[in-house]
């Protein structure tokens, strides 16, 4: 028996004991708009409330998982630096907005039912935040993941890089802003498994099938126990700093210049300049 329904940016369907959440803005590579974080949280809550569901799978429609925040709109919009605030910048208004988004992404981490991220295409910037909040990640070898805004105009608010990779490998990723493919992500230990795109669906289906026969209370206890170790390591305070720093990166001298450059030449060209390896003005 299956069911399906649509939030504004997330498709929700259930087949047997598995609920599938599909980020659904394929024309923008499923980029995050102002509706998607709340839609993710609502879909996770729905799956947790459904007694029939044991496992959640999160993926993206079309050829991408999630390309990050829809920065073409936010960066090229002549309004405030984020797009929601006029200057002068109030850091606490910014923090409240971004912390809300972070908490909504973290609904995946807090979900009592295990969440498998199925990364079928780019998972960049805020899209990597979403993926890294999931319990297990299976990634197409051809897909890419990373946090390019670490170069300028961003800090990953969920801070999950360090908890998944440890300090040195997290620094390797965030001090370069590099994107890596699925093979490299598995080698570093960022994702559980990387397979050819043609095998991705079958691999995730097999993993979900292995979990779905386990009682929900067993799944819940194992996940809560492991997650508590993250909390004991200071996850919440780390996320507070990361979310504050994210606002600062968008209002630093270099961040303000990057925003102006996006308005001047367009986001795509400004990103090419940012990621070229040349010194950032």
Q: How many CB atoms lie within 10 A of CB 187?
A: 12
Q: Three-state SS for 8? A: coil
Domain boundaries 10-275, CATH class: alpha beta
Q: Where are the domains of the chain?
A: 10-275
Q: What are 12-15's contacts with CB under 8 Å, separation 24+?
A: 12/43, 12/46, 12/47, 14/47, 14/50, 14/52, 14/53
Cβ neighbours of residue 119 closer than 8 Å, sequence gap 6 or more:
59, 60, 65, 131, 137, 138, 139, 140, 143, 145, 182, 191
Close Cβ partners of 171 (under 8 Å, ≥ 6 residues apart): none
- Please state, in angstroms and rounded to a whole number, the distance separating the CA atoms of residues 173 and 145: 10
**Could you read off the pLDDT tens digit of each residue along the chain, which spans 281 residues?**
456 777 899 999 999 999 999 999 999 999 999 999 999 999 999 999 999 999 999 999 999 999 999 987 667 776 555 445 677 899 999 999 999 999 999 999 999 999 999 999 999 999 999 999 999 999 999 999 999 999 999 999 999 999 999 999 999 999 999 999 999 999 999 999 999 999 999 999 999 999 999 999 999 999 999 999 999 999 999 999 999 999 999 999 999 999 999 999 999 999 999 999 999 88
Phi, psi of 15 (to 5 degrees): -130, 110
**DSSP string spanning 97-127?**
HHHHHHHHHTHHHH-SS-EEEEE-S-EETHH
Helix (H), strand (E) counts: the chain: 13, 10
Q: What is the pTM of this model?
A: 0.95
Q: What is the CB-side half-sphere exposure of residue 52 using CA atoms within 13 A?
A: 10
User: Among residues 139, 146, 144, which one has the least CA distance to residue 197?
Assistant: 139
């Amino acid at each position: 028996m299956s069911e399906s329904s649509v939030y504004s940016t997330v498709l929700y369907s259930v087949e047997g004991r598995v609920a599938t959440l599909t980020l659904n803005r394929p024309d923008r590579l499923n980029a995050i708009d102002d509706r998607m974080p709340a839609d993710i949280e609502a879909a996770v809550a729905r799956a947790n409330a459904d007694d029939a569901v044991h496992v959640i799978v999160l993926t993206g429609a079309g050829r991408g998982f999630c390309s990050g925040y829809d920065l073409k709109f936010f960066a090229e919009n002549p309004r405030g630096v984020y797009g929601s605030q006029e200057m002068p910048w109030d850091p606490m208004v910014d923090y409240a907005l971004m912390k809300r988004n972070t908490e909504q992404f973290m609904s995946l981490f807090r979900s009592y039912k295990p969440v498998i991220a199925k990364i079928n295409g780019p998972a960049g910037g805020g899209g990597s935040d979403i993926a890294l909040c999931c319990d297990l990640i299976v990634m197409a070898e051809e897909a890419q993941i990373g946090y390019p805004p670490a170069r300028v105009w961003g800090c990953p608010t969920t801070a999950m890089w360090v908890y998944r990779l440890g300090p040195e490998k997290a620094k390797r990723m965030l001090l370069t802003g590099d994107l890596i493919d699925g093979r490299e992500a598995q080698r570093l230990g960022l994702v559980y498994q990387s397979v050819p795109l043609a095998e991705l669906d079958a691999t995730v289906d097999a993993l979900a099938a292995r979990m779905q026969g386990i009682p929900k209370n067993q799944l819940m206890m194992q996940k809560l126990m492991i997650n508590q170790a993250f909390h004991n390591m200071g996850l919440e305070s780390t996320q507070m700093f990361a979310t504050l720093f994210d606002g600062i990166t968008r209002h630093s001298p270099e961040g303000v210049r990057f925003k102006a450059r996006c308005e001047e030449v367009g986001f795509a060209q400004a990103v090419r300049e940012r990621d070229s390896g040349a010194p950032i003005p």
